[in-house]
Amino acid sequence: MIPDFDVIIVGSGPAGVSAAFPLVEAGLKVLMVDGGKRPDIQPPEMDFLSARINDAEQWKWMVGKDFHALKMRDAVSPKLRVPSHAFAFDGFERSNKIEGKDFISVGSLATGGLSNSWGCGVARFSATEIAKFPFSASELELSYRRVSQRMGISGRANDDLSDYFGLDEDAQPAIPMDMLHTHLSQHYLNHRKKLNSQGFRLGRSRVAVLSEDMSGRQACNLSGNCLWGCQRHSLYSAVDDLPELYKYENFTKISGFVVDDLTRCDRYWSVSGQNTLSNERKTITANKVVLAAGTLATTRIVLKALDYRDTVPVLSCPTAAFLLWLPRLLGAPRLPGFGLGQLSFALALYDNITAFGSTFATTGIPLSEFARHVPLRRRYSIDLLRGLLSSCVVGNIFLPGHLTVAGAKLGRDESLVISGKYDDKVMPLMNEAAKKVRKAYWRLGGMLLPGSFTVGRPGGDIHYAGTLPMRESSVVGETSPLGEVKGMDGVYVVDGACLPVLPEKSHTLTIMANADRIGRQLVVLKI
């Protein structure tokens, strides 16, 4: 029997496309399958502020024709309430039979996966972090460069975070900062020494957003629509890589195919699943299968194929958010600007733990998101915030993923149940972080608003990883240094599931680089 394809890649997110490029370039017959959800709401056509003032139909993209924002009232992140992102998260848990217990489990059935809706944070893992991978740092080096150049990164700056991010050689210049962030960074220069000695380092955020046009995508024009959908495709999404892949005749893609079973037949693998539209079942065979369905979905496919009933660990970064007020800029005008991370900070905490965070402008975020949390009567919380918010920035903060103690287990009904809580160390660490953030930003002319530092719920970071970690010598439930699942020869995990560590910094770029590395090595192995 001749299999239908050389390789089937499950998932079209950042990991899937990154693994696809080397395989396709080497002439292998590659099939990519995904859930196929596509956006159905047009992003605003004007810049955010003009659209707010002029567009009588703004509710369609702010609230949604089906009142999506209200249906998702209790969701953890404002992003989950944005109607134009709804397609990215829609139906994931149901179709993939994934269930979070006291744990937020989010994934995507969309073409391009979660990269349709990400914060675009990118960073390289440090040498110490890569030391925990079962291969040498140099093996990732080329892959980091390849994916960075392909996706387009901005934020190049010779600052205190250059080493932390390690991306400047392949980065475009930074996108201009707004008045508030300029103020913060200027003050930082004056107090740098002191702050560094306290373990606080500040620098430009490195983000997968274009500041210069690149391969059909346009540079950011500060429209402020980052949260609502960027018409210019300045923000990287894996969808942007698909046209390049389609150019290869040996690349095929099927949309609306949700994989639920992997079976060995003869010397091949057959992948079967459900067509989400026609509900038809389909089975396709290939020599090798590359799993890039996103950490949770990939984990379920593997555990089910292995019939593995023990709990596997889930890494996930504890998070917190805060609001910072710059009194000197009170009454600043609302101006269009970049809506994602403008400045980032790394903060040394006790026990050699580093926290990472970024700050954002508040303009592109609905004021109702803040008003709900202000302990004032609604009418006056709006009054207060309208005067206050134009001189505020919002910040987030991440701790390393091993501080969430979570696990995933295949239930009797074949659904994957994720449960977990924060490690006991998290609260003291967060308290320390809050104290240090308050102190550091006070020097920069910012005031951490009392009561605004809020610790998120477990899983709320949506940075899941490490369920099937790569190990030098793997046992069942782990993967080889090539991501090959122990007990399933020819099945490779290339997404977050195979990362052996999850540091506090953004991990997407590393997932992509690792997928690229595995893809290239599969070519070398001549499958």
Partner 1 sequence: MKIVVTGANGYVGTRLITIGDKHGHVIVVASRQPPIIQENLWIPFDIYKANLIELPSGTDAIVHLAANTLLANNTDKKSEINAAVNLIKAAKEVGAKFIFVSSQTARSDAPTAYGRTKWRIEQEVLSAGGWVVRPGQVYGGELRGLFGTLVSTVRRLPLLPAFIPAPKVQPIHVDDLAEGLLRIAERGDVPPDVYCLAAVAPVSFSILLDTIAKSRLRCWRGFLPVPVLVINALTFILGEKFRTRLGLERLQSLFNLPVMETRPDLNQLGLELRPLRSGMHPSGNDRRRRLLREGQAMLGYILKERPGSAVLRRYIRVIEQLRGGQALDLPKLFLGYPIFLSLLDESSWTNKITSAEYLWRLDAATVLAEATPVGAYRFLGRGHGVLYSLFSMTHAVLCEVCWRISRMLFSPLVRLTLSQEKGIL
The Cα–Cα gap between 464 and 167 comes to: 23
Q: Is 184 helix (H, G, I), strand (E, B) or coil?
A: helix
Question: Do the bridges between strand 416-422 and strand 404-410 make them parallel or antiparallel, or are there none, so unpaired?
Answer: antiparallel
Instruction: State in angstroms the smallest separation of the CB of 378 from partner 1.
Output: 6
Quickly list H helices, 158-308.
162-165, 179-197, 242-246, 295-306
Task: Find, among 236, 241, 214, 217, the residue nearest to 226 by Cα.
Answer: 236
- Quick one: 50 or 275, whose CB is closer to partner 1? 50
Q: How far is the CB of 9 from partner 1 (least distance, A)?
A: 39
According to the binding rule CB under 8 A, does residue 368 interact with partner 1?
yes
State the amino acid at position 333 in one-letter form: P
Instruction: Name which of 199 and 366 has its Cβ closer to partner 1.
Output: 366
Q: Does 379 bind partner 1 (CB under 8 A)?
A: yes
Taking CB under 8 A as the rule, does residue 438 contact partner 1?
Answer: no
Please report how close the Cβ of residue 388 comes to partner 1 at its closest, in angstroms.
6
Smallest distance, Å, CB 90 to partner 1? Answer: 17
Which tokens go with 522?
A: 């599969």
* 373 contributes a contact to partner 1 by CB under 8 A: no
List the one residue from 246, 350, 380, 442 that touches partner 1 (CB under 8 A).
380
Q: Does 442 bind partner 1 (CB under 8 A)?
A: no
Query: Taking CB under 8 A as the rule, does residue 131 contact partner 1?
Result: no
Residue 376 CB, nearest distance to partner 1 (Å)?
5
Piece of the chain touching partner 1 by CB under 8 A; list 252-260, 349-357, 387-395, 405-413: 387-395
**Contact between 387 and partner 1 (CB under 8 A)?**
yes
Shortest distance, position 360 Cβ to partner 1, whole Å = 16
Number of residues that bind partner 1 (CB under 8 A): 42
302: region left, alpha or beta (phi > 0 left; psi from -120 to 50 alpha): alpha
Distance CA 514, CA 482 (A): 9
Positive or negative: CA dihedral 87, 100, 115, 243: negative
Tokens matching residue 510: 């590393």
CB of residue 232 vs partner 1: minimum separation in angstroms? 23
Nearer Cβ to partner 1, position 37 or 68? 68
Residue whose tokens read 């007990």: 487
Residues 368 and 372: their CA atoms lie apart, in Å, by 6
| Closer residue to partner 1 (CB): 48 or 492 | 48
Task: Kindly state the smallest distance separating residue 335's Cβ from partner 1, in Å.
Answer: 8
Which position among 114, 388, 403, 455 is part of the footprint of partner 1 (CB under 8 A)? 388
Nearest-approach distance from CB 206 to partner 1, in angstroms: 29
Residue 366 in contact with partner 1, rule: CB under 8 A:
yes
Check residue 223 for interaction with partner 1 (CB under 8 A): no
Can you give the length of the chain in residues?
Answer: 527
Report CA-CA distances (Å) from 383 to 196, 252, 377. Answer: 38, 55, 10
- Scanning 285-293, 294-302, 340-348, 382-390 for contacts with partner 1 by CB under 8 A, the matching segment is 382-390
Question: Residue 277 interacts with partner 1 (CB under 8 A)?
Answer: no
Mask of contacts with partner 1, 320-359, x by CB under 8 A? ----------xxxxx-------------------------
- Based on the shown chain and the rule CB under 8 A, indicate whether residue 447 belongs to the binding site for partner 1: no
As a whole number of angstroms, the longest Cα–Cα distance in the chain is 73
Nearest Cα neighbor of 13 from 46, 36, 42 is: 36
Given 117, 162, 287, 381, the residue binding partner 1 (CB under 8 A): 381
Sequence-distant (6+) residues with CB within 8 A of 306 are: 476, 477, 485, 487, 488
Q: DSSP string of 140-174?
A: HHHHHHHHHHHH-EEEE--STTHHHH--GGGEEEP
Nearer to partner 1, 225 or 404 (CB): 225
Tokens of 221: 């024009």
Which burial class, exposed, middle or buried, applies to 139 when counting CB atoms under 10 A from its CB (0-12, 13-18, 19+)? Answer: middle
48-77 binders of partner 1 (CB under 8 A): 49, 52-56, 58-59, 62-63, 66-67, 69-71, 73
Q: How far is the CB of 54 from partner 1 (least distance, A)?
A: 7
Does residue 412 touch partner 1 according to CB under 8 A? no
Q: Which structure tokens are listed for 310?
A: 């023990």
Residues paired with residue 493 on neighbouring β-strands, in sequence order: 291
Question: Whole-number minimum distance, CB 297 to partner 1, in Å?
Answer: 29
CB of 229 to partner 1, least distance (A): 15
Token pair 């369609």 is at which residue?
60
Q: Does 384 bind partner 1 (CB under 8 A)?
A: yes
| Residue 441, burial from CB neighbour count under 10 angstroms (0-12, 13-18, 19+) | buried
Contact footprint for partner 1 (CB under 8 A): 49, 52-56, 58-59, 62-63, 66-67, 69-71, 73, 330-334, 363, 366-368, 371-372, 376-388, 390-391
